[in-house]
Amino acid sequence: MIDQNIKIAVDAIVFGYEKGTLYVLTVQQRFGELADKWVLPGGFVKDEEPLLAAVERELKEEAGINVNYLEQLGTFGDDINRDDRFRVVSVAYFALVNPQNFVLKADTDAKDAKWFPLNQLPQLGYDHDEMVRLAHQRLKSKLTYQPIGFDLLDQEFLFSDLENLYCSILERSIERRNFRKKILSFGIVKETSKVVKIGNSGRPGKLFVFDKAKYNQLSKENFQFDIRFA
């Protein structure tokens, strides 16, 4: 008989996008050897608790938020010393949200909750830096084959806003003409009759809206979308 003493935990990498900047949600530890250290929201799974329910609970308890959709990233446990207290295997989830839709409120063992720009993220506790790196890599990969992120924009948006969203997350320039042509060909973005002035030049720009019904229909058909980089 094998004697096991392994704990299961969950961690959440919640990316936020706002005005051309990609953020990561972090919480500040209140207790223990990592007191005052910034980490990802997460904690131990209860005996009778599904993994997804556990990560949703931890986000609510530590940061005061509810996230509608979380995707499993993977398991972290090959390093048996990733937690100094005991052997812990963590199942990580990630999401992409609009920070404006949330009011952070730290509680339980979290002293504070804060959005950090990805490029200004402090060194995180445990192996959470590696989790963020892999989650960002997965997010960038996903963007190159599946149009996502429309809920991060205003209900009516400039097409350049959508292009900038992709460039910010991918951290690369895209072929904008090709990108525009492909997005419009799917019918998931529709041009409106409204225009707004762009920048200091006052040049008019047309506003667009996202057709969620069309997007959901195409998603069921597993449509593919590849991005060309400049």
pLDDT digits (tens, 9 = 90+) for 119-133: 999 999 999 999 999
Distance CA 209, CA 43 (A): 39
Q: Does a structural domain hold residue 63?
A: yes
**pLDDT (0 to 100) of residue 3:** 74
Q: Whole domain around residue 174: which residue ranges?
A: 150-220
- Asked which of 21-30, 39-48, 49-58, 152-161 is least confident by mean pLDDT, the reply is 152-161
**pLDDT (0 to 100) of residue 191:** 92
pLDDT above 70: residue 106: yes
pLDDT above 70: residue 201: no
Same domain assignment for residues 72 and 137: yes
Report the pLDDT averaged over residues 8-16.
Answer: 96
Full-model pTM: 0.90
Same domain assignment for residues 89 and 201: no
Distance CA 38, CA 111 (A): 10
Over residues 44-100, the pLDDT tens digits come to 999 999 999 999 999 999 999 999 899 999 999 877 777 778 888 899 999 999 999
Domain CATH for 62: 3.90.79.10
Same domain assignment for residues 81 and 135: yes
As given in the structure block, the two tokens for residue 208 are 């667009």
pLDDT above 70: residue 202: no
- Provide the 10 A C-beta neighbour count for residue 73: 19
Same domain assignment for residues 136 and 158: no
**pLDDT (0 to 100) of residue 82:** 74
- Secondary structure (H, E, C), the chain: CCCCCCEEEEEEEEEEEECCEEEEEEEEECCCCCCCCEECCEEECCCCCCHHHHHHHHHHHHHCCCCCCCEEEEEECCCCCCCCCCCEEEEEEEEEECHHHCCCCCCCCEEEEEEEEHHHCCCCCCCHHHHHHHHHHHHHHHHCCCCCCHHHCCCEEEHHHHHHHHHHHHCCCECHHHHHHHHHHHCCEEEEEEEEEECCCCEEEEEEEECHHHHHHHHHCCCCCCCCEC
> In whole numbers, what is the pLDDT of the chain averaged over residues?
90
Q: Does a structural domain hold residue 119?
A: yes
**pLDDT (0 to 100) of residue 28:** 96
Same domain assignment for residues 11 and 105: yes
